[in-house]
Amino acid sequence: MSVPRLALNWVICFSLAISCGMAQSPFAFTEVAPSAHANAAGGNLISYSKRDGLSFLQNPALLDSTLENQLSVSYSPYFSGHYNSLSYVLPGKKSYTAGVFARALNFGKFVQTDDIGNVTGQFSVGNYDLGIGVAKSIERISFGANLRLVNSLFAGYWSSAVALDCGGTYMIPEKGIHLSLVARNIGFSLSRSPFIENQLPFNLLVGMSIKPQFMPARFHIVLDQLSDWSSENKEKLTSGRKAFSHLALGADILFRENIYLTVSNNFGRSLNSNESHIFSGYGVGLTIDFKRASLGISNAANPLLKNQTVFSLAYKL
């Protein structure tokens, strides 16, 4: 096998290994938390969206009128590259709310060589996701969908797919409860590279956020990968630990209404890792809301991604 082919295969294996560990697909990067708050809350924050314009990337039902005309961006260093998310929620729609978004996982450039090791140039590796989301609210219920075009580029070889995310949220405002159900990455391939496996990583999730009336805290509970109970990693777990491997728990500790510290533990990350303790899936972050802007920073330990740090900024135009 030629050196370029060896290098290409190494990059593919490397990217698959770190792309969330959820599916043997470069499209699994779409499961990486898009914002600092989501990253700190366990990686999947599907039932709460206050001033987080990137929240509808994880649950399209979270698009609502409070986010209209908001521009949101996040940045995360990712090994030698970076992971970026960008969204804009469109203004002025009375019957529904719409938003557009883009995200990219860029691994940077790699040296290309010929069969005997002579450098012949460079090649790029990256994953890209473009989409539009629409949501509608009817009293206590909101539902929405994201339509996305997902692409992966490996040394000039493209793999593409069309994906649909569907979500619903039921709100009980007098009790401070939000309940959500989400199905992500429903779709099909448009093109296939001979070197890239392009199966979409389907994910079924349920979640709840609750704010007790007299407590300065908000709690988040998420169960994810509910359609996958028999992966290679989970086969090594007992029935009880296998159930916990789908669970993420998070809490926002409210210093003030506009300043809160988020802590979490994603048990799936910890139980599926080689770490010796159950808290190896922890996350922590800080969010500060201003009149027109919101700033966030978080760090989450992930056995495959090591430490993922995310910086987020949202601004109401």
Does pLDDT of 24 surpass 60? no
Distance of CA 229 to the CA centre of its chain: 20
What amino acid is encoded at 137 in this protein?
S
Confidence of residue 3 (pLDDT cuts 50, 70, 90): very low
> pLDDT tens digits, residue range 119-145?
777 777 788 999 999 999 998 999 999
Average confidence (pLDDT) over 179-190: 94
Average confidence (pLDDT) over 238-243: 64
Rg (CA), the chain: 20
What amino acid is encoded at 115 in this protein?
D
Mean pLDDT of the chain: 83
Confidence of residue 22 (pLDDT cuts 50, 70, 90): very low
**Cα–Cα distances in Å, from 197 out to 1, 56, 101, 125, 201?**
20, 27, 24, 15, 11
CB 68 within 8 A of CB 89: yes
Q: What percent of the chain has pLDDT over 90?
A: 53
Confidence of residue 81 (pLDDT cuts 50, 70, 90): confident
| Residue 29, φ and ψ in degrees, nearest 5 | -65, -20
User: Domain containing 147 — which CATH number?
Assistant: 2.40.160.40
Does pLDDT of 196 surpass 90? no
Least confident of 107-121, 166-180, 196-210: 107-121
User: Could you tell me the residue range of the domain that residue 223 belongs to?
Assistant: 3-316
Does pLDDT of 41 surpass 60? yes
User: What is the structure's pLDDT at 254?
Assistant: 96
> pLDDT tens digits, residue range 259-313?
999 999 998 776 655 555 556 788 999 999 999 999 999 999 765 556 789 999 9
Count how many domains the chain has: 1
User: What is the structure's pLDDT at 137?
Assistant: 93
Q: Within 10 A of 238 (CB to CB), how many other CB atoms are there?
A: 8
User: What is the structure's pLDDT at 244?
Assistant: 77
